Amino acid sequence: MKNTINFTVICFLLAACGCDKSPEPTKPRQSKATMTLAEISSESYLAAKVNFLPLTEIIGAKTSGESGKITAYVNLTDIAGAAIKSPGTFRFELYEHIKELPDSKGKRLAIWAEQDLTGFSDNTAAWLDFLRAYQFDLAFDLPADKTYVITVTCTSTGGKRLYNQMVIAAR
* CATH of span 45-169: 2.60.40.1940
Q: Which residue has the higher pLDDT, 154 or 39?
A: 154
Q: Which residue has the higher pLDDT, 44 or 72?
A: 72
Q: What average pLDDT does this structure show over 63-84? A: 88
Q: pLDDT tens digit string along 134-169?
A: 999 999 888 878 899 999 999 998 899 999 999 998
| Residues making up the chain, counted from first to last | 171
Sign for the pseudo-dihedral over CA of 48, 54, 55, 59: positive
- Lowest pLDDT segment from 32-46, 64-78, 102-116, 157-171: 32-46
Is the confidence at residue 65, as pLDDT, over 80?
A: no
Q: Give the closest residue to 72 by CA, choosing from 149, 160, 159.
A: 149
Among residues of the chain, what percentage have pLDDT more than 70?
70
pTM above 0.75, yes or no: no
Is the confidence at residue 38, as pLDDT, over 60?
A: no
Residue 49 φ/ψ, nearest 5 degrees: -155, 145
Q: Which residue has the higher pLDDT, 15 or 67?
A: 67
C-alpha of 145 from chain center: 32
- The secondary structure of 51-98, three-state, reads EECCCCEEECCCCCCCCEEEEEEEEEECCCCCEECCCEEEEEEEEEEC
Among residues of the chain, what percentage have pLDDT more than 90?
56
pLDDT-based confidence at 103, cuts 50/70/90? confident
92-96's contacts with Cβ under 8 Å and 24+ in sequence apart are 92/136, 92/138, 92/150, 92/151, 92/152, 93/150, 93/151, 93/153, 94/70, 94/142, 94/148, 94/149, 94/150, 94/151, 95/148, 95/149, 95/150, 95/151, 96/148, 96/149
Alpha-carbon distance of 82 to 76, in angstroms, equals 8
Instruction: Give the list of residues 6+ apart from residue 73 with CB closer than 8 angstroms, or none.
Output: 52, 53, 55, 56, 128, 131, 133, 134, 135, 136
Is the confidence at residue 86, as pLDDT, over 70?
A: yes
C-alpha of 27 from chain center: 30
